[in-house]
Each structure stands twice: as structure tokens, then as C-alpha cells.
Structure 1
Amino acid sequence: MTHMTKRPSVGTLSAPLVEALVRDAESLRLGIEKTSTGATIVDGGISVRGGLEAGRRITEICLGGLGQAKFVADSRFPGWTTAIQITTLDPVTACLGSQYAGWSLSEGDFFALGSGPARALWAKEELFGELCYKDEAATAALVLETDKRPPDSLISFIAKECGVSEEKLTLILTPTTSLAGSVQVVGRVLEVALHKAHAIHFPLERIVDGTGVAPVPPPAADFLGGMGRTNDAVLYGGEIALYVEGPEDEAEQLANGLPSSTSKDHGRPFGEIFAGYNFDFYACDAGLFSPAVVTVTALSTGKSFSAGAFEPALVEKSFRGA
């Protein structure tokens, strides 16, 4: 029998953040709906405007209460002087155990990927078996990247899968074309690096700490444009630092293997890449989804290794819609 790892409860830690988001909805320009069965739906930019601060808060909810997201001044990309900076208390649990968009939900013509603390209540992704983690919490919050309200039957399904009543379920809807949606996608700059580290088989238990930063793009007019800009912000403008245990040479190998430039698809705006694969996200090279620049520090020796490069011209082209 697999032993569950004692990790913090992302559901319990993020619950006060969810309550505050709902409480402050009016000032954050968010919409709140209570379904007939008691679930709370937060509209982050479908029929309301939302905003940058809403996106920052939603990012912290996605991190399961184990991370901070803050806006910082950024001089790397002229014209785009605001970035989102991510720090975590426990990067593996925060990013992979909560923030990663790993729950695929569909019904009829509705489809969305779910991220956030409720994933760890469901815990049926293969990744949770590897993490040896299943959360226990009294409430569930799931962030859906969508421009549609999910059907009632799917809302009931999510609550049941999480083991909570619908009164204890909050769904936060964030279209990619919204201000909040743009921020929460770019706020995954550290998460994509951890996901790639996992994909290239670096032992997750040796990742002790991490930070990340990426420029905040302007929202696009349509879904494909939004997907392009948010991905380009990370692939060509994102930067992360990881602090790892283990041999120095393995820290160097991790640094060299992580940047987006290791992918054959690197070097063009993501919108072009996506179109080249007939808009099939899963046909894209998975190795592309990582920050532009990485630094990995071997805690055993204090030696740091950096790899990758920013692509300011691609960031500019993408964000301007040129």
C-alpha cells in the first residue's frame, strides 16, 4: 500500500483566500452566483470586467495557500513594465499538488481544465500517486479556464468527486481573454518549470524551494490570442530559480534541460506554433512549456547554474499583436 506523504492541506490553507475573494467581489469587479444547490460560482471575467488584482488573488488560491503572487516592476521588456512574481513555501505541493491544470472536465459542449486546491481532494491524476498525496479539507475550490458557466450536472459531479456538499464548493471561472485570466496563467511560470522537471525525471523530493517571474501581457480580443500572449510571456519572458538537493552535476543537468529553448518548437510566437499543429494543444512539443531562463542552485555546494535566454522581440511582437 502506498503511504500518503504528510503535506500541508492546500484546501484548508486556501479556504480563507477563497472567502476573501467572494467577500471582496464587488471591489474586485467579480460576479458571484449561488446555484440552486448551493455551490458558489465566481465569474472572473465572462460577464464582468474583473481585473489584475483579482488575477493575483486567484493565482494565490491556485497555489493552495502555499505561495505568494505579487506585482513587481520589470525593466526587461520596454513597454511591459509589470511582472508577476511567484514565491512558495513548498513548491512541489503548491505547484504540482494544486496549481497545475490537470483535471480535465467536459460535458456536452463544455470543456475546461481544472486547477487549484480541489484537485488534491479528487487526487485521481497519476501525478498524485507519485506525490503520495491526497488532501482532506472541509471545502473545495477549483479554478476553471473557461468563458462559459459549467452545467449544473458537472458542478454536482465535481462536488461529489471532491467528497464535499455543493454548499462547500467554489468554482472560479477565468477566461483567457480577461485581465484576471491573463494574470493567473502567467502566474504559472514556476509551475511549468516544476512540471518539466518532473517530465525529465528529476526527483521532485529534491526540489526544496523556487521562485519565478514573468511579464504580465495585455489581454487579447479572442481565446487564441490570449493563449498566445500568456504562453509567450512565460516561454520567452519567464525566469525561475530552483534550489535543489543532491550532486552539483545533476543540478547543472537540470538547468540545461529546463529552458523552453530546448524545444524544437522554440523561436516563434506560440500562436504560430499552435496554428501549425492545427490548434491541437497536445500535439505541441511538451518540452516547450517552460520558462525562458532558469537558474538552479545546488544547495550541497552553493554553486548555481543558469541556462536559456530571453526573447524580447518575440515578447514585443506577441504583446503588440504584430
Structure 2
Amino acid sequence: MKNGSALLNDSACAIVDGMVRDAERLRIAVSTGPLGERLVDAGAAVLGSIEAGLHMARATMGGLGEVMPVIDGASTRWPFQLEVRSSQPVLACLGSQYAGWNLSEDKYFAMGSGPVRLLARVEPLFSTLTYHETAASSVVVLETGAPPPEKVVEKVAGATGLAPDRLTFVYAPTQSLAGTVQIVARVLEVALHKARDLDFPLEDIVDGIAAAPLPAPHPDFITAMGRTNDAIIYGGLAQFYVTGPASAARELAEKLPSRASRDYGLPFAEIFAKFKGDFYAIDPLLFSPAEVIVTALETGETFRSGGRDAEMLEKSLA
């Protein structure tokens, strides 16, 4: 991808403009904030919808990924899954979709995702991810149940150089239909993030596809968070197509699945309680799909590791 264009930001804005046009059908609410920012509530004070969550997920990927519901005929208990794929997986998932921008302020907690991160470039990740954009407007996606306060809007505006009225904030809590969808749709992103933590050369990951079961939302935040994480940790499947030596592809396949983590083996809600709610005390290597397939394009070899855990899914998603 060439630097300088506004490809991801323009694509995300177009996706969100479509959401705004279809707001009634998607059961979302659109308003204008005190600084002129556009606010799209996809599941906080409104019911929202699965389709709204699909649009959110596509927007977070800057239009460089497909997200769609599919049926897994082999699963009788959790047959509906989300499938995510991208021919630009590193840029779509790490450069845009990853919720890596801390936008917390006082008692308001939120991590920002979406192509706005390519404009702000305030995260350490962008010291290695060299792609950048300039854009006339942008989209911020927040996993939260409240619109951003003025200080957060000002922070985003200051970091991006965009006036507040050129920013759209789309938000939905974990407990909502849309929130559940957009979180599970990160199954490919968490695999890429772990590959980076394992020091696999990101430029060698040239294509990717992943899927995870779509759990039911739950009104309790901890339960809802547990379900969305467990859908990936115990039910996620990801395949990477990589260049470079087959030995590196084999090693990535062996190390990438979630069961390689020291914290594997309990529902996520129980792991969260075990660490007294300290998310950052949990082994970061836990956050990856249950099963991984890596294909070495130069030799045609495919390596597999891990496996989906129906028993753990039953404990968490039932």
C-alpha cells in the first residue's frame, strides 16, 4: 500500500455514512456532540443490531476486510460464526482494527480503534508499521456504553489535526448485539497481534482468514466480556499465508494457538477474577485463536496446531 492516500479513512467514513443513512433499520442513533463531532450510538441507549456490528467491524478495518456471518455445519451448539478475511491483514488489523489508542479520561475508559489511529500515530506500534495516511475526516470506534466526553474529542482532534466536526465516534458496549459482533470480529487481529509478540516478520504475512463462534450478548459486563474472549480463545480458527522459510511458518503455527499460554484452561471470566480484574496481569499470549493453520507459500507446506475446545465453549457460552 502506498503512503499518503486516505484509503482506509475514506473507506471507513463511507461505511459509517451508510450506517447513518440506514440508522432506523439498524436500530442505531445518530447525533451531534457539543464540539460538532458526529456520534453514532450502536448499542448503548439503543438496541442496535448484528448488522450494525458487522458495519462497525468493517469500519474498524478501514474497508480492507470482509466480515460476514457463516454457518459451521460441524457445530450443533454454536453453528453461527463470524468469518473475517483480508488481503492486507497487517494494515487492516494492526494498523486500523486493533484497539490500541488509550482514550480514557477521568472516570471514562475507552480504547480507540479504526483508521484514525493511522492519523494520530501515537502508539509504539507505529514505530515499526511505517504506513501512514492524511485524511479530511475520520472514524473512531469505541467499545463503551457512553459517548466520549469533550476532553476525549479534543484529544483526538489534537492528535489528528482534524476539527471535531470532521470526526465520527461510533460506540457500543460489550453487552450489546453490535458490541459482541465487533469484538468477535477481531479474531484475525488477535492472531496478528500475537504473531507480532512472537517476533514473526509482519511483512511475511500476506493474507489471512479467521472465524469464531458468535456468542449471545449478556447484560452483565464481565459475563459478556468472558463470552467474547472465549469465543476466540477456545473457538477461534485462523489461517495465515506467509512468505519466507517453511521452518518459520512451522514455528509460528506451533506457538500461535491460545493453549500455548500459561493461563489457558479456564473461562475468561474466571481468569479475570483470578487476577482481581487486572487485565494486564493476564498472560498476553492467551489472546489468540484456539486453532492455527499457517501455509508457507514458497514450499506449499501447511502446518497446523492447537484445536477448538467444545467443552470450554460450553462452559462459557451456555
Scaled by the length of structure 2, what TM-score is found? 0.97
1:21-50 residue CA offsets vs partner (Å, 9 max, x unmatched): 111111100011111322111111111000
Match of 1:280 in 2: 278
| 1:299 maps to 2:297 | yes
Q: 2:5 touches 2:135 (CA, 8 Å); kept in 1?
A: no
Secondary structure in structure 1 of the residue aligned to 2:192: helix
Match of 2:66 in 1: 68
Identical counterparts, % of pairs: 47
Q: CA deviation at 1:5?
A: 5.5
Segments of 4+ in structure 1 off by > 6 A? Answer: none
Q: CA deviation at 1:189?
A: 0.3
1:201-260 residue CA offsets vs partner (Å, 9 max, x unmatched): 000011100000001000012111111000000000000100000011110000001000
Q: CA deviation at 1:7?
A: 8.0
1:40-95 residue CA offsets vs partner (Å, 9 max, x unmatched): 11111111000111101110001111011011012343222211100112000000
Alignment of 1:112-127 (within 5 A): 112-127=110-125
Counterparts in 2 of 1:21 and 1:242: CA distance versus 1, 3 Å: same
Q: 1:86 touches 1:213 (CA, 8 Å); kept in 2?
A: yes
Secondary structure in structure 2 of the residue aligned to 1:110: coil
Matched to 2:259, the amino acid is S
Q: 1:40 touches 1:167 (CA, 8 Å); kept in 2?
A: yes
Matched to 2:263, the amino acid is D
Match of 1:13 in 2: 11
Alignment of 1:21-40 (within 5 A): 21-40=19-38
Q: 2:87 touches 2:206 (CA, 8 Å); kept in 1?
A: no
Measured in 2, the distance between the counterparts of 1:8 and 1:138 equals: 8
Match of 1:48 in 2: 46
Secondary structure in structure 1 of the residue aligned to 2:104: strand
Match of 2:211 in 1: 213
Match of 2:109 in 1: 111
Unaligned stretches of 5+ in structure 2?
none
Matched to 1:141, the amino acid is V
Secondary structure in structure 2 of the residue aligned to 1:27: helix
Unaligned stretches of 5+ in structure 1?
none
Q: 1:5 touches 1:131 (CA, 8 Å); kept in 2?
A: no
Alignment of 1:148-163 (within 5 A): 148-163=146-161
1:78-115 residue CA offsets vs partner (Å, 9 max, x unmatched): 22221110011200000000000000111121010111
| 1:92 maps to 2:81 | no
Alignment of 1:301-320 (within 5 A): 301-320=299-318
Measured in 1, the distance between the counterparts of 2:137 and 2:3 equals: 21
Match of 1:247 in 2: 245
Q: CA deviation at 1:8?
A: 7.0
Measured in 1, the distance between the counterparts of 2:30 and 2:3 equals: 35
Secondary structure in structure 1 of the residue aligned to 2:30: strand
Match of 1:289 in 2: 287
Q: 2:40 touches 2:168 (CA, 8 Å); kept in 1?
A: yes
Secondary structure in structure 1 of the residue aligned to 2:81: strand
